[in-house]
Amino acid sequence: MPKQLLSCLLLALLLASPAAAQRIMQSINSNWLFRKDDAQSTVASVSAATSWEKVSLPHTWNAADVLDDEPGYYRGTGWYRKTLQVPASWQQKRVYLYFEGANQEAELYVNGQLAGRHAGGYTAFSFPVSQFLKFDGSNPAAAEVLVKLSNRHNPDIPPLSADFTFFGGIYRDVYLVAASSVHFDLDNYASNGTFVTTPTVSNDAAEVVLSGALRNESSSSRKVTLLTQVLDAAGRIVARQQTSITLKAGENRSFRQPLPRLKQPHLWSPTDPYLYRVMSTISEGKTQLDEVTNPLGLRWFRFDAAQGFFLNGQPLKLIGTNRHQDVAGLGNALPDALHEKDVLLLKQLGGNFLRISHYPRTLPCFRPATGWAF
């Protein structure tokens, strides 16, 4: 093929393809400052404080005192501090701070202003922070981030008592997120904005439904296309649905998008942990605005009081153990590798079932568990 013709074909393909998805997630775990402070300090006084400990996340202030010779452990207030430089290229994006978990009452301040509050030590949360950023031309915007955190007993936050430690701290990962002005709703309980359900699954067919919400944070009406595709393990498209939606300025629109039924689906099981991928995109013309991908294992199950557990119509003996999310010397501030190590050990023991004790876990506990047939 002549080089000129090949170049023209490549150019045509580029022009015909949507631009790359615009959602960005950056880890900001490193280079934080920390101080204990039970003196009911204000944001201004804490910002002016000079005595700080350098830490990286994940972090807990109870890693040592739960194992020392003194009774009890510190249950009070701690502050975290970090200065961010938000790229100038993000001026037209919607910026969020996303926390996978912090125990147990959190207040987030950006440049001295309250961005949001979260109660509960075991679920993720995110807050929009674009309104607190001040860009100056092509220069990045500085963001002074303060997190006030308390693991003090609160009768309104369960569990009220337990046979485990209520470690205080930002003990899971934190991310800086940037999205287009039109995107899947990131305020929906800190999810990626989409939810995949399978109302019916059998050996013959499977029903897949995508739901969620689209958010238009621009000042004008936008006509967009919501495209969802189910891909098999080889990357082949096995189901596809496209919907046109017009969003008013400032609108947050819920949606439900059923896909064509999958015939003779490849079912997930512990001996064959087959995964599909559900890829969802928002596009405006040829410009792709947002994209999220969710793993999908197709299976059905039931419990029978007399005969036990059934998966995909077949009896399955559940073999497993209970697991807490802490390690001596680290508390609950574990890197992802240690979560994955525990799951791998369970697999090596011949397990196919994991009880996550009494609280929601971080995503790394489930990613390997799904791939390793739990």
Domain-wise residue ranges, the chain: 24-179, 194-296, 317-371
Confidence of residue 11 (pLDDT cuts 50, 70, 90): very low
CATH number belonging to domain 194-296? 2.60.40.10
Q: Residue 20 above 80 pLDDT?
A: no
pLDDT tens digit sequence for 148-182:
999 999 999 988 888 899 999 999 999 999 999 99
Q: What confidence score (pLDDT) does residue 10 get?
A: 37
- Candidates 98, 142, 172, 135; CA nearest to 325 is 172
State how far the Cα of 299 lies from the Cα of 196, in Å rounded to an integer. 13
Q: What confidence score (pLDDT) does residue 362 get?
A: 83
Distance of CA 139 to the CA centre of its chain: 29
Confidence of residue 347 (pLDDT cuts 50, 70, 90): confident
24-179 and 194-296 have identical folds: no
Residue 307, token pair as written in the block:
């005969």
Q: Residue 14 above 50 pLDDT?
A: no
Q: Does domain 24-179 have CATH number 2.60.120.260?
A: yes
Q: What confidence score (pLDDT) does residue 343 get?
A: 87
State how far the Cα of 257 lies from the Cα of 269, in Å rounded to an integer. 26
Q: Residue 4 above 60 pLDDT?
A: no
Q: Residue 234 above 50 pLDDT?
A: yes
CB-based burial, 271-308: b 16+ in 10 Å, e otherwise? eeebebebbbbbbeeeebbbbbebebbbbbeeeeeeee
Which carries the bigger pLDDT value, residue 226 or residue 21?
226
Lowest mean pLDDT among 6-10, 158-162, 270-274, 307-311: 6-10
Q: Residue 214 above 70 pLDDT?
A: yes
What is the distance in angstroms between the CA of the first residue and the CA of the last residue of the chain?
50
Cβ atoms 36, 74 nearer than 8 A? yes
Q: Residue 59 above 50 pLDDT?
A: yes
Q: What confidence score (pLDDT) does residue 255 get?
A: 98
Cβ atoms 117, 150 nearer than 8 A? no
Q: What is the mean pLDDT of residues 225-246?
A: 98
Mean pLDDT of all residues belonging to the chain: 92
